[in-house]
Structure 1
Amino acid sequence: MRLYLAMPSVVVALLLAALGVAAITRGWVLPMNRRHVHRVRLYGWGQLVAAFGLCWQVVFGLVISGINIRQWGTLTGSGLLVTGLIVMMVSYRPAGN
């Protein structure tokens, strides 16, 4: 296991998950995103899904040694990460007047 890749990825995933929990429970979003986010809870769920996808990629990419399971696990983690980003994008305000 490559610890120099796993540790920063896990820290980023935990930070993203903490921000997602804060958005779901308290309705709190980072100050730079407050104007743009329209549905805060949906944004928080998107952050949680993205954090789970990142953790899934770390586990299957760096910890699991079986090549067949490793490929499908990282592909699933990438799908979860993209799904989380799409859910976060849906929660933004529509452009226009």
Structure 2
Amino acid sequence: MGLLAIALGFVTLRTGWILPTARRHVTKPQLHGLGGMFTGSSVVLQGLFYFRVLPSVSWEARFFLGNALLFTGLLLIVLSQLLSSRRNPDQAGPSAV
């Protein structure tokens, strides 16, 4: 699941494409992609520590690092939906003609 979140975050950063279920709510695709990458990396790192692929560190360091990455990612995803896009009101779009 973590690798899927990282891949979707990378695709969002590169192309601006967002899953159809979130497309209507996201106003800042870059923040959404970055948040997905942070959230996915938290899950992947926790799995690597659990299966002892990475060198063992104290459980406190794993706990705080994992939670910091996870909450940073979730905060970025929330901000990508709450922040309004800054469009210039002086430029008329095609529907404002």
Query: Deviating runs (4+, > 4 A) in structure 1?
Result: none
Residue 26 of structure 1 aligns with which residue? 15
How many corresponding residue pairs? 83
Distance 2:16 2:55 in 1: 40
Unaligned runs of 5+ in 1: 1-11
Q: 1:70 aligned to 2:59?
A: yes
**1:52 aligned residue (41, 61, 65):** 41
- Percent identity between matched residues is 30
More helix by share: 1
Q: Give deviations 1:43-96, integer Å, cap 9, x for gaps.
A: 000101111111121122342685x6133213211221111001110000459x
TM-score norm. by structure 2 comes to 0.74
Unaligned runs of 5+ in 2: 85-97
Q: Which range moves more in the overlay, 18-27 or 49-58? A: 49-58
Query: Larger Cα Rg: Structure 1 or Structure 2?
Result: 2
